[in-house]
Amino acid sequence: MRKPHKVVVVSQHYPPDHSTTAAIMAAIAERVAQDAEVVVVSGMPGSAREPRPGRPTVVEIRNWLPDKAALIKRALAETLFTCRIFVALWTRLKRGDVALTVTAPFVLPYAVAVAARLKGAKSALILHDLFPDVLVMAGLLKPASLVARTMRAINGLMFRALSAVIVIGRDSEKLLLRYQGMTPDKIRFIPNWTTLVPGVRPVDPDNPFRKAIGARFVVGLSGNLGFTHDPDIVFDAARLLRGDADIHFLLSGWGMGFDRLREMQSADRLANVTLVDRVAGADLDALLSSADVWLIPYRKNVAGVSVPSRFYNLLAAGRPVILISEPEAEAALTVKENALGWVVAPGKPDQLADAIRQASRPQDTAMAERAVAAARTFSPERALGSYAALVAELLCGRDVERTA
Protein backbone atom coordinates (compact mmCIF):
# COMPACT_ATOMS: atom_id res chain seq x y z
CA MET A 1 0.00 0.00 0.00
CA ARG A 2 1.35 3.40 -0.94
CA LYS A 3 2.04 6.02 1.67
CA PRO A 4 -0.23 9.09 1.67
CA HIS A 5 2.71 11.44 1.22
CA LYS A 6 5.19 11.60 -1.64
CA VAL A 7 8.94 11.88 -2.07
CA VAL A 8 10.31 14.63 -4.30
CA VAL A 9 13.82 13.88 -5.56
CA VAL A 10 15.60 17.01 -6.80
CA SER A 11 18.64 16.69 -9.05
CA GLN A 12 20.15 18.76 -11.81
CA HIS A 13 21.69 15.57 -13.20
CA TYR A 14 19.47 12.64 -14.18
CA PRO A 15 19.45 10.14 -17.08
CA PRO A 16 19.95 10.44 -20.01
CA ASP A 17 22.90 12.28 -18.45
CA HIS A 18 25.75 9.77 -17.98
CA SER A 19 27.33 11.36 -14.89
CA THR A 20 27.83 9.47 -11.64
CA THR A 21 25.42 11.82 -9.85
CA ALA A 22 22.71 11.08 -12.43
CA ALA A 23 23.14 7.33 -12.02
CA ILE A 24 23.06 7.57 -8.21
CA MET A 25 19.95 9.75 -8.06
CA ALA A 26 18.12 7.59 -10.61
CA ALA A 27 18.90 4.41 -8.66
CA ILE A 28 17.66 5.98 -5.41
CA ALA A 29 14.47 7.27 -7.06
CA GLU A 30 13.72 3.89 -8.63
CA ARG A 31 14.24 2.04 -5.33
CA VAL A 32 12.20 4.45 -3.22
CA ALA A 33 9.40 4.33 -5.83
CA GLN A 34 8.85 0.67 -4.92
CA ASP A 35 7.43 1.82 -1.58
CA ALA A 36 6.18 5.38 -2.08
CA GLU A 37 5.07 7.87 -4.69
CA VAL A 38 8.18 9.54 -6.15
CA VAL A 39 8.38 12.67 -8.26
CA VAL A 40 11.80 13.57 -9.66
CA VAL A 41 12.43 17.22 -10.48
CA SER A 42 15.30 17.14 -12.98
CA GLY A 43 17.35 19.73 -14.80
CA MET A 44 18.47 17.38 -17.57
CA PRO A 45 16.98 17.76 -21.08
CA GLY A 46 15.22 14.62 -22.22
CA SER A 47 14.68 13.25 -18.71
CA ALA A 48 10.89 13.76 -18.43
CA ARG A 49 8.88 10.59 -17.81
CA GLU A 50 5.13 10.11 -17.47
CA PRO A 51 3.65 8.47 -14.33
CA ARG A 52 3.77 4.67 -14.23
CA PRO A 53 2.89 2.31 -11.37
CA GLY A 54 5.91 1.62 -9.19
CA ARG A 55 8.16 4.01 -11.13
CA PRO A 56 9.12 7.63 -10.45
CA THR A 57 7.48 10.43 -12.41
CA VAL A 58 10.16 12.73 -13.83
CA VAL A 59 9.41 16.42 -14.29
CA GLU A 60 11.95 18.33 -16.36
CA ILE A 61 12.83 21.91 -15.40
CA ARG A 62 14.29 24.21 -18.03
CA ASN A 63 18.01 24.41 -17.48
CA TRP A 64 21.07 25.96 -19.13
CA LEU A 65 24.20 23.79 -19.02
CA PRO A 66 27.32 25.79 -19.98
CA ASP A 67 30.75 24.19 -20.09
CA LYS A 68 32.25 23.54 -16.65
CA ALA A 69 35.28 25.66 -17.51
CA ALA A 70 33.06 28.74 -18.04
CA LEU A 71 32.83 29.52 -14.33
CA ILE A 72 30.86 32.78 -14.54
CA LYS A 73 28.30 31.38 -16.97
CA ARG A 74 28.08 28.23 -14.89
CA ALA A 75 27.44 30.20 -11.70
CA LEU A 76 24.69 32.19 -13.41
CA ALA A 77 23.11 29.04 -14.87
CA GLU A 78 23.13 27.26 -11.52
CA THR A 79 21.57 30.26 -9.79
CA LEU A 80 18.77 30.40 -12.37
CA PHE A 81 18.21 26.67 -12.08
CA THR A 82 18.03 26.89 -8.29
CA CYS A 83 15.41 29.65 -8.50
CA ARG A 84 13.31 27.53 -10.86
CA ILE A 85 13.65 24.56 -8.51
CA PHE A 86 12.37 26.64 -5.61
CA VAL A 87 9.28 27.63 -7.60
CA ALA A 88 8.74 24.00 -8.68
CA LEU A 89 8.96 22.78 -5.07
CA TRP A 90 6.68 25.52 -3.83
CA THR A 91 3.94 24.28 -6.15
CA ARG A 92 4.53 20.54 -5.61
CA LEU A 93 5.51 20.00 -1.97
CA LYS A 94 2.79 19.33 0.59
CA ARG A 95 2.94 19.01 4.36
CA GLY A 96 4.36 15.61 5.28
CA ASP A 97 6.19 15.11 1.97
CA VAL A 98 9.93 14.42 1.83
CA ALA A 99 12.36 16.34 -0.40
CA LEU A 100 15.66 14.60 -1.19
CA THR A 101 18.50 16.36 -2.97
CA VAL A 102 22.26 16.38 -3.53
CA THR A 103 25.09 18.94 -3.42
CA ALA A 104 25.27 19.58 -7.18
CA PRO A 105 25.08 22.48 -7.80
CA PHE A 106 26.14 23.59 -4.33
CA VAL A 107 23.40 26.25 -4.03
CA LEU A 108 20.64 23.71 -4.70
CA PRO A 109 20.34 22.31 -1.13
CA TYR A 110 19.66 25.78 0.27
CA ALA A 111 16.59 26.21 -1.94
CA VAL A 112 15.34 22.69 -1.18
CA ALA A 113 15.75 23.11 2.60
CA VAL A 114 13.95 26.47 2.61
CA ALA A 115 11.10 25.29 0.37
CA ALA A 116 10.58 22.16 2.48
CA ARG A 117 10.58 24.10 5.74
CA LEU A 118 8.08 26.66 4.43
CA LYS A 119 5.75 23.92 3.11
CA GLY A 120 5.93 21.76 6.24
CA ALA A 121 7.82 18.97 4.47
CA LYS A 122 10.86 16.96 5.59
CA SER A 123 14.15 17.41 3.76
CA ALA A 124 17.27 15.26 3.34
CA LEU A 125 20.60 16.09 1.72
CA ILE A 126 23.06 13.64 0.16
CA LEU A 127 26.43 15.25 0.92
CA HIS A 128 28.79 14.44 -1.96
CA ASP A 129 30.90 17.59 -1.50
CA LEU A 130 31.06 20.03 1.41
CA PHE A 131 31.18 23.69 0.44
CA PRO A 132 32.98 26.05 0.91
CA ASP A 133 35.58 23.49 2.03
CA VAL A 134 35.94 22.11 -1.52
CA LEU A 135 36.69 25.58 -2.87
CA VAL A 136 39.13 26.29 -0.05
CA MET A 137 40.89 22.99 -0.68
CA ALA A 138 41.19 23.83 -4.39
CA GLY A 139 42.72 27.21 -3.57
CA LEU A 140 39.79 29.17 -5.00
CA LEU A 141 38.79 30.66 -1.63
CA LYS A 142 40.70 31.73 1.45
CA PRO A 143 39.47 29.96 4.62
CA ALA A 144 38.71 33.27 6.37
CA SER A 145 37.41 35.16 3.33
CA LEU A 146 34.06 36.94 3.44
CA VAL A 147 32.62 34.51 0.88
CA ALA A 148 33.75 31.45 2.86
CA ARG A 149 32.40 32.86 6.14
CA THR A 150 29.10 33.75 4.49
CA MET A 151 28.72 30.26 3.02
CA ARG A 152 29.40 28.69 6.42
CA ALA A 153 26.80 30.92 8.06
CA ILE A 154 24.22 29.91 5.45
CA ASN A 155 25.25 26.27 5.91
CA GLY A 156 24.44 26.55 9.59
CA LEU A 157 20.91 27.70 8.78
CA MET A 158 20.52 24.96 6.18
CA PHE A 159 21.69 22.17 8.49
CA ARG A 160 19.29 23.41 11.14
CA ALA A 161 16.42 23.21 8.62
CA LEU A 162 17.32 19.80 7.20
CA SER A 163 15.73 16.68 8.65
CA ALA A 164 18.65 14.40 7.68
CA VAL A 165 22.10 14.55 6.09
CA ILE A 166 23.39 11.47 4.30
CA VAL A 167 27.19 11.28 4.29
CA ILE A 168 29.06 8.91 1.99
CA GLY A 169 32.21 9.00 4.10
CA ARG A 170 32.73 8.58 7.85
CA ASP A 171 35.23 11.44 7.77
CA SER A 172 32.50 13.99 7.00
CA GLU A 173 30.89 13.82 10.43
CA LYS A 174 33.62 15.76 12.23
CA LEU A 175 33.35 18.70 9.83
CA LEU A 176 29.56 18.70 9.92
CA LEU A 177 29.40 18.81 13.69
CA ARG A 178 31.28 22.10 13.69
CA TYR A 179 28.02 23.72 12.60
CA GLN A 180 25.67 24.69 15.41
CA GLY A 181 22.68 23.67 13.30
CA MET A 182 24.03 20.14 12.89
CA THR A 183 23.43 17.37 15.44
CA PRO A 184 24.65 13.75 15.42
CA ASP A 185 21.11 12.36 15.26
CA LYS A 186 20.62 13.93 11.82
CA ILE A 187 23.60 12.15 10.24
CA ARG A 188 23.19 8.86 8.34
CA PHE A 189 26.23 7.12 6.82
CA ILE A 190 25.31 5.46 3.50
CA PRO A 191 28.35 4.89 1.27
CA ASN A 192 28.09 4.75 -2.50
CA TRP A 193 28.14 1.40 -4.24
CA THR A 194 29.73 -0.57 -7.04
CA THR A 195 28.20 -0.55 -10.51
CA LEU A 196 30.38 -3.42 -11.71
CA VAL A 197 29.86 -7.02 -10.59
CA PRO A 198 32.65 -7.74 -8.08
CA GLY A 199 35.14 -10.33 -9.29
CA VAL A 200 38.86 -10.63 -9.90
CA ARG A 201 39.63 -9.76 -13.53
CA PRO A 202 42.83 -11.38 -14.81
CA VAL A 203 45.43 -9.13 -16.44
CA ASP A 204 44.93 -9.86 -20.15
CA PRO A 205 47.64 -8.73 -22.62
CA ASP A 206 44.92 -8.62 -25.31
CA ASN A 207 42.85 -6.12 -23.36
CA PRO A 208 42.00 -3.36 -25.88
CA PHE A 209 43.37 -0.65 -23.60
CA ARG A 210 46.51 -2.57 -22.69
CA LYS A 211 47.68 -4.38 -25.82
CA ALA A 212 49.33 -1.31 -27.37
CA ILE A 213 51.38 -0.77 -24.20
CA GLY A 214 54.59 -2.75 -24.07
CA ALA A 215 55.28 -2.25 -20.37
CA ARG A 216 54.87 -5.10 -17.89
CA PHE A 217 53.13 -2.96 -15.26
CA VAL A 218 50.34 -0.47 -16.03
CA VAL A 219 49.33 2.32 -13.66
CA GLY A 220 45.79 3.56 -14.30
CA LEU A 221 43.85 6.75 -13.64
CA SER A 222 40.18 7.08 -14.57
CA GLY A 223 37.29 9.47 -14.04
CA ASN A 224 36.45 13.12 -13.63
CA LEU A 225 39.31 15.25 -12.35
CA GLY A 226 37.77 18.31 -10.73
CA PHE A 227 38.60 20.90 -8.08
CA THR A 228 39.48 18.31 -5.46
CA HIS A 229 41.99 16.37 -7.58
CA ASP A 230 45.69 16.95 -8.25
CA PRO A 231 46.77 15.94 -11.77
CA ASP A 232 50.27 17.38 -11.30
CA ILE A 233 51.36 14.77 -8.75
CA VAL A 234 50.48 12.01 -11.22
CA PHE A 235 52.45 13.59 -14.05
CA ASP A 236 55.38 14.42 -11.78
CA ALA A 237 55.54 10.78 -10.68
CA ALA A 238 55.49 9.72 -14.34
CA ARG A 239 58.46 12.02 -14.95
CA LEU A 240 60.35 10.41 -12.06
CA LEU A 241 59.61 6.94 -13.46
CA ARG A 242 60.22 7.61 -17.16
CA GLY A 243 63.49 5.68 -17.04
CA ASP A 244 61.73 2.50 -15.90
CA ALA A 245 60.63 0.66 -19.06
CA ASP A 246 58.51 -1.77 -17.01
CA ILE A 247 56.07 0.91 -15.79
CA HIS A 248 53.55 2.78 -17.96
CA PHE A 249 50.78 5.27 -17.08
CA LEU A 250 47.33 4.85 -18.68
CA LEU A 251 45.31 8.00 -17.95
CA SER A 252 41.64 8.26 -18.94
CA GLY A 253 39.07 10.84 -17.95
CA TRP A 254 37.63 14.29 -18.32
CA GLY A 255 37.32 17.58 -16.46
CA MET A 256 39.69 20.46 -15.83
CA GLY A 257 42.29 18.18 -14.23
CA PHE A 258 42.39 15.97 -17.30
CA ASP A 259 42.78 19.06 -19.48
CA ARG A 260 45.80 19.91 -17.32
CA LEU A 261 47.24 16.42 -17.97
CA ARG A 262 46.83 16.99 -21.70
CA GLU A 263 48.71 20.29 -21.46
CA MET A 264 51.60 18.72 -19.56
CA GLN A 265 51.83 15.75 -21.91
CA SER A 266 51.72 18.05 -24.94
CA ALA A 267 54.71 19.91 -23.53
CA ASP A 268 56.77 16.95 -22.25
CA ARG A 269 55.60 14.06 -24.48
CA LEU A 270 56.55 11.41 -21.94
CA ALA A 271 56.93 8.02 -23.61
CA ASN A 272 55.61 6.27 -20.49
CA VAL A 273 52.24 8.09 -20.57
CA THR A 274 49.16 7.23 -22.66
CA LEU A 275 46.08 9.47 -22.57
CA VAL A 276 42.65 8.02 -23.38
CA ASP A 277 39.42 9.95 -23.76
CA ARG A 278 36.48 9.24 -21.48
CA VAL A 279 35.22 5.73 -22.20
CA ALA A 280 31.60 4.67 -22.66
CA GLY A 281 29.91 2.80 -19.84
CA ALA A 282 30.01 -0.42 -21.86
CA ASP A 283 33.82 -0.19 -21.96
CA LEU A 284 34.35 0.62 -18.28
CA ASP A 285 34.91 -2.98 -17.23
CA ALA A 286 37.60 -3.44 -19.89
CA LEU A 287 39.28 -0.18 -18.87
CA LEU A 288 39.36 -1.02 -15.18
CA SER A 289 40.70 -4.48 -15.99
CA SER A 290 43.55 -3.04 -18.08
CA ALA A 291 45.73 -1.64 -15.28
CA ASP A 292 47.60 -3.44 -12.52
CA VAL A 293 47.02 -0.67 -9.98
CA TRP A 294 44.82 2.44 -9.95
CA LEU A 295 45.53 5.95 -8.70
CA ILE A 296 43.11 8.34 -6.96
CA PRO A 297 44.96 11.68 -6.65
CA TYR A 298 43.49 14.14 -4.15
CA ARG A 299 44.75 17.53 -3.06
CA LYS A 300 45.55 18.38 0.55
CA ASN A 301 42.79 18.50 3.16
CA VAL A 302 40.39 16.14 1.35
CA ALA A 303 39.24 14.38 4.52
CA GLY A 304 35.54 14.96 5.08
CA VAL A 305 35.20 17.09 1.96
CA SER A 306 34.90 14.59 -0.90
CA VAL A 307 34.72 10.83 -1.42
CA PRO A 308 35.67 9.14 -4.74
CA SER A 309 32.75 7.17 -6.17
CA ARG A 310 35.10 5.46 -8.63
CA PHE A 311 36.91 3.85 -5.69
CA TYR A 312 34.33 1.10 -5.27
CA ASN A 313 34.45 0.00 -8.92
CA LEU A 314 38.25 -0.25 -8.74
CA LEU A 315 37.83 -2.66 -5.86
CA ALA A 316 35.11 -4.55 -7.76
CA ALA A 317 37.60 -5.16 -10.57
CA GLY A 318 39.96 -6.78 -8.07
CA ARG A 319 42.66 -4.14 -8.31
CA PRO A 320 44.76 -2.55 -5.56
CA VAL A 321 44.73 1.24 -5.32
CA ILE A 322 47.22 3.98 -4.53
CA LEU A 323 45.31 6.76 -2.83
CA ILE A 324 46.78 10.24 -2.51
CA SER A 325 45.05 11.75 0.54
CA GLU A 326 45.22 12.22 4.28
CA PRO A 327 45.10 8.93 6.22
CA GLU A 328 41.82 9.85 7.95
CA ALA A 329 39.88 10.24 4.67
CA GLU A 330 37.12 7.68 4.05
CA ALA A 331 38.81 5.88 1.15
CA ALA A 332 42.13 5.83 3.02
CA LEU A 333 40.44 4.25 6.03
CA THR A 334 38.96 1.54 3.80
CA VAL A 335 42.33 0.88 2.15
CA LYS A 336 44.14 0.56 5.48
CA GLU A 337 41.41 -1.44 7.24
CA ASN A 338 41.31 -4.03 4.46
CA ALA A 339 44.94 -3.94 3.23
CA LEU A 340 43.91 -2.92 -0.29
CA GLY A 341 46.91 -0.87 -1.38
CA TRP A 342 48.87 2.23 -0.44
CA VAL A 343 48.09 5.70 0.94
CA VAL A 344 50.44 8.53 -0.08
CA ALA A 345 50.58 12.04 1.36
CA PRO A 346 49.29 14.75 -1.02
CA GLY A 347 51.91 16.85 -2.79
CA LYS A 348 54.66 14.21 -2.56
CA PRO A 349 55.38 12.89 -6.10
CA ASP A 350 58.54 11.16 -4.91
CA GLN A 351 56.50 9.15 -2.40
CA LEU A 352 53.96 8.35 -5.10
CA ALA A 353 56.74 7.12 -7.39
CA ASP A 354 58.08 4.94 -4.56
CA ALA A 355 54.61 3.48 -3.95
CA ILE A 356 54.26 2.67 -7.66
CA ARG A 357 57.65 0.96 -7.67
CA GLN A 358 56.59 -1.09 -4.65
CA ALA A 359 53.28 -1.99 -6.30
CA SER A 360 55.10 -3.13 -9.45
CA ARG A 361 57.04 -5.78 -7.50
CA PRO A 362 55.48 -9.16 -6.69
CA GLN A 363 52.84 -8.51 -4.04
CA ASP A 364 50.47 -10.28 -1.72
CA THR A 365 48.38 -12.36 -4.15
CA ALA A 366 45.40 -12.19 -1.82
CA MET A 367 45.09 -8.41 -2.27
CA ALA A 368 42.85 -8.83 -5.32
CA GLU A 369 40.52 -11.16 -3.41
CA ARG A 370 40.41 -8.72 -0.49
CA ALA A 371 39.51 -5.90 -2.86
CA VAL A 372 36.61 -7.91 -4.30
CA ALA A 373 35.45 -8.92 -0.81
CA ALA A 374 35.44 -5.26 0.24
CA ALA A 375 33.54 -4.30 -2.92
CA ARG A 376 30.80 -6.80 -2.10
CA THR A 377 30.10 -4.92 1.14
CA PHE A 378 29.39 -1.81 -0.96
CA SER A 379 26.51 -3.40 -2.84
CA PRO A 380 23.69 -1.40 -4.44
CA GLU A 381 21.12 -3.54 -2.63
CA ARG A 382 22.53 -2.61 0.76
CA ALA A 383 22.91 1.11 0.02
CA LEU A 384 19.56 1.54 -1.69
CA GLY A 385 17.83 -0.39 1.06
CA SER A 386 19.28 2.11 3.53
CA TYR A 387 17.93 5.01 1.47
CA ALA A 388 14.49 3.40 1.38
CA ALA A 389 14.54 2.88 5.16
CA LEU A 390 15.54 6.50 5.78
CA VAL A 391 12.79 7.84 3.52
CA ALA A 392 10.25 5.57 5.23
CA GLU A 393 11.24 7.04 8.61
CA LEU A 394 10.83 10.58 7.32
CA LEU A 395 7.50 9.84 5.64
CA CYS A 396 6.20 8.43 8.91
CA GLY A 397 7.11 11.69 10.60
CA ARG A 398 9.75 10.15 12.87
CA ASP A 399 13.06 11.79 13.55
CA VAL A 400 16.06 10.07 12.02
CA GLU A 401 17.61 7.60 14.43
CA ARG A 402 21.38 7.45 14.55
CA THR A 403 22.82 4.27 13.06
CA ALA A 404 26.27 2.74 13.27
pLDDT of residue 82 exceeding 50? yes
Dist. CA 298–CA 302, nearest whole Å: 7
Give me the sheet containing 98-102, strands edge to edge.
Answer: 57-60, 37-42, 6-11, 98-102, 122-127, 164-167, 187-189
Tell me, what's the pLDDT at 231?
Answer: 95
Is the bond preceding residue 109 a cis peptide, omega within 30 degrees?
A: no
Confidence at residue 1, expressed as pLDDT on a 0 to 100 scale:
43
Give me the domains of the chain, ranges plus CATH numbers: 6-193+379-395 (3.40.50.2000), 217-377 (3.40.50.2000)
Q: What is the mean pLDDT of residues 262-285?
A: 92
pLDDT mean over 369-390: 95
- At residue 14, the pLDDT reads 95
Q: Where is pLDDT greater, at 351 or 203?
A: 351
Answer yes or no: is pLDDT of 354 > 70.
Answer: yes
Q: Which residues of 312-330 are buried (b: 16+ CB within 10 A; e: fewer)?
A: bbbbbbbbbbbbbbbeebb
Q: Is the pLDDT of residue 3 over 60?
A: no
pLDDT tops 70 at residue 252? yes
Average pLDDT over residues 329-353: 94
Question: How far apart are alpha carbons 342 and 332 in whole angstroms?
Answer: 8
Residue 308 has pLDDT above 90, yes or no: no
Higher pLDDT, 11 or 132: 11
Residue 126: per-residue pLDDT:
95
Residue 306, pLDDT score: 74
Provide the 8-state DSSP code for 297: E
User: Of 43-52, 88-97, 187-196, 303-312, which range is least confident?
Assistant: 303-312
Query: Band of the pLDDT at 133, cuts 50, 70, 90?
Result: confident
- Rounded distance, CA 374 to CA 372, Å? 5
Please state the rounded mean pLDDT for residues 115-143.
90
Name the pLDDT band for 241 (thresholds 50, 70, 90): very high
DSSP string, 339-367: T-EEEE-TT-HHHHHHHHHHHHS---TTH
pLDDT bracket for residue 402 (50, 70, 90):
very low
Q: What percent of the chain has pLDDT over 90?
A: 66
Beta carbons of 369 and 335 less than 8 angstroms apart: no
Give the residues across from 319 on adjacent strands: none
Residue 172 has pLDDT above 60, yes or no: yes
Instruction: Examine the pLDDT at 181 and tell me if it is beyond 80.
Output: no
Q: From CA 10, how far away is CA 385, in angstroms rounded?
A: 19
The answer to whether 224 touches 255, Cβ cutoff 8 Å, is yes
Considering the chain, what percentage of its residues have pLDDT values greater than 70? 96
Q: What is the pLDDT of residue 138?
A: 78
Interval 83-92 mean pLDDT: 94
pLDDT at 70: 63
Query: If phi over 0 gives left and psi between -120 and 50 gives alpha, with beta otherwise, what is residue 139?
Result: left
Residue 404 has pLDDT above 50, yes or no: no
Q: What is the pLDDT of residues 315-331, one digit of tens each?
A: 999 999 999 999 999 89
Residue from 3, 127, 54 nearest 398 by CA: 3
Q: Can you say how many angstroms the Cα of residue 281 is from the centroid of all Cα atoms in its chain?
A: 16
Q: How far is 261 from 247, CA to CA, in rounded Å? A: 18
Distance CA 136, CA 347 (A): 16
Can you state the percent helix, strand and coil of the chain, rounding each to 5? Answer: 40, 20, 40
pLDDT at 71: 65
Lowest-confidence segment of 16-30, 39-53, 303-317, 379-393 by average pLDDT: 303-317
Please report the pLDDT score of residue 249 as a whole number: 97
Identify the sign of the CA torsion 75, 78, 80, 82. negative
- Amino acid residing at 103: T
pLDDT at 397: 75
Strands (DSSP E) found in 119-176: 122-127, 164-167
Mean pLDDT taken over the chain = 90
Residues 6+ apart with CB under 8 A from 152: 132, 179
